[in-house]
Amino acid sequence: MALSRRSGRSRLTLILLVLTSVTVITLDFRGPGGVIGAVRSGAADVLSPVRGAADTVFGPVSDAFSGITGYGALEDENDVLWRRIEELEGDRLRAEDAEAELKALLRVNRLDRFTDLPSVSARVVGSPISNFEQTIQLDRGSDHGIGEDMPVVTGTGLIGRVVDVSGTRSIVRLITDPSSSVGVRLSRSGVLGVLEGVGPDRLLDLGLVDLETDVRERELLVTSGVDDSFFPGGIPVGRVRRATSTEGELQQDIAVAPVVDLGRLRFVKVIQTGSP
Amino acid sequence: MTLAARLPPLFVLAVMLHTAVLPQFRVAGVAPDLLLLLGIAAGIAAGPDRGAIVGFTAGLLADCFLQTPFGLSALTYSLVGYAVGMFQTTILHAALWIPVTTAVVASALGVVLFAVTGAVVGQAHLLSNRLVTVVLVVSLVNGLLFLFVARPVRWATTADLAPGLVLR
């Protein structure tokens, strides 16, 4: 009898908790901000010093852990990087002249490049907490002029956009996140497409490029900068790794590697494309 | 020391470990889910009632740091905590491997339930090939972590229970 009463009470507790959860989920769907936004911002602000301290304390231990679990891959990566340094040195010399010409053209046409737009520098203080989201936390927030939907870049190219801001912290959704999509332009043909994330350590998926478009391996993709895009035009995003056309399909299957190594982010810039 | 005094420090410590320390130690890019494990351990130690309540609270705390709908983790973790509590009342706990295996299986189910429920409320990207890796790593590492988590959770959740109702 007593056991049955206990079981009934447990079921009632569960029903109440499930109803509460569903109510909270519904409230969250009604729109960003509000009480739930304030709770999230408050939690981020309260815990950010702890996360920062843990990053400092456990960072070297974490690096050693990664080194042990991926020693072979690190050696291969080192070889690749040395080869890339030599290639890039050649590219840099060739690009100097083109850079000067581009600057002159932009000046004449009174256009801005993303590197000339106002920006806030920030340090990456947190890796993703969830196993499903590709997000990072920055040590700057709305107090420093950062707002939602602002693009985030490194010196090399785009890494994502701000999706949540508190006073002193902001959360950036990386371009590899499965819910991320970026309007891009193929640098040679000028054809527009949509670049979508499919998760960590996987190539991005470029869609909406028809079968007639000539897409080359290593071709650069930059942000399209079309009117309703979150991103200004011309920010390098990725390079084509492979492009295949299948008969009967309406678009090519194009895999793209990000230009930025998203696993080693330390400092980034948030481009202030609008007021926070 | 009452339940109300014991649970808050446990949650604070768990949140700090879950958000600041454990994400730094990833296997195949996947971190263990300590807050899910909290609900599971509470279910094993103190039954379905407390499993659901601890799971719900731990889930709400997890939701504070995620971009998925607020309440999704709370819903999932409370269901898992309850189910584990119901399961543990029907079996004999003579050996250590039973609660450890329960923690492994419940963690796997918890991750799958989170992804499926997320997909139902519009987060379709949670159901991807990566889910298999996440399920494997989270369940195995959570099984290992259970050995360290079981005792403090039992201490915090069974403060006012009669000795006969507590798993030793």
- In this structure, which amino acid lies at residue A66? S
Angle, helix B97-120 to helix B72-88, in steps of 10 degrees: 150
Alpha carbons A83 and B74: distance in angstroms, whole number: 49
CA distance B97 to chain A (A): 26
pLDDT confidence of residue B39: 96
CA distance A261 to chain B (A): 15
Contact assignment for B20 to A179 by CB distance below 8 Å = no
Question: Which of A22, A128, A171 is opposite residue B23, by nearest beta carbon?
Answer: A128
Cα torsion at A16, A19, A24, A30 (round to 10°)? -160
Task: Please state the separation of Cα A156 from the chain's center in Å.
Answer: 13
Q: Do the bridges between strand A119-126 and strand A135-138 make them parallel or antiparallel, or are there none, so unpaired?
A: antiparallel
Return all residues near B166 (Cβ < 8 A) that are at least 6 apart: B45, B46, B154, B158
Burial of A217 (0-12, 13-18, 19+ CB in 10 A): exposed
Contact assignment for B128 to A199 by CB distance below 8 Å = yes
Report the chain A residue with the minimal C-alpha distance to residue B136: A131
Average pLDDT over residues B108-113: 97
- In this structure, which amino acid lies at residue B139? S
Chain B CB contacts of A50 under 8 Å are 16, 19-20
Contact assignment for A29 to B69 by CB distance below 8 Å = yes
Contact assignment for A36 to B29 by CB distance below 8 Å = no
Note the pLDDT tens digit of each residue in B2-16: 777 889 999 999 998
**For residue B75, is pLDDT > 90?**
yes
Alpha carbons A106 and B38: distance in angstroms, whole number: 57
Q: Is the ipTM of this complex over 0.85?
A: yes
Residue B69 or residue A85, greater confidence: B69
Report the chain A residue with the minimal C-alpha distance to residue B80: A14
3-state secondary structure chain B: CCHHHHHHHHHHHHHHHHHHHHHHCCECCECCCHHHHHHHHHHHHHCHHHHHHHHHHHHHHHHCCCCCCCCHHHHHHHHHHHHHHHHHCCCCCCCCHHHHHHHHHHHHHHHHHHHHHHHHCCCHHHCCCHHHHHHHHHHHHHHHHHHHHHHHHHHHHCCCCCHHHCCC
Report the chain B residue with the minimal C-alpha distance to residue A126: B20
Task: Please state the separation of Cα A249 from the chain's center in Å.
Answer: 29
Average pLDDT over residues B127-155: 94
Contact assignment for B47 to A164 by CB distance below 8 Å = no
Residue B150 or residue A78, greater confidence: B150
pLDDT confidence of residue B135: 96
In this prediction the pTM is: 0.79
CA distance B96 to chain A (A): 25
Question: Which of B67, B121, B126 is opposite residue A135, by nearest beta carbon?
Answer: B67
Alpha carbons A62 and B24: distance in angstroms, whole number: 6
pLDDT per residue rounded down to tens, chain A (276 residues): 555 666 788 889 999 999 999 999 988 887 666 788 888 888 877 877 777 777 777 777 777 777 776 677 777 888 888 888 877 877 777 777 777 777 777 666 666 666 678 899 998 887 778 888 889 989 899 999 999 999 999 888 899 999 988 888 899 999 999 889 999 998 888 889 999 998 877 889 998 888 888 888 889 999 988 877 888 888 899 999 988 887 777 888 899 999 998 888 889 999 998 654
> What is residue A144's DSSP assignment?
G
Chain A CB contacts of B31 under 8 Å are 129, 131
| Beta-bridge mates of residue A244 | A253
pLDDT confidence of residue B149: 95
CA nearest to A138, candidates A3, A39, A273, A265 = A265
CA distance B19 to chain A (A): 6
Contact assignment for A14 to B78 by CB distance below 8 Å = yes
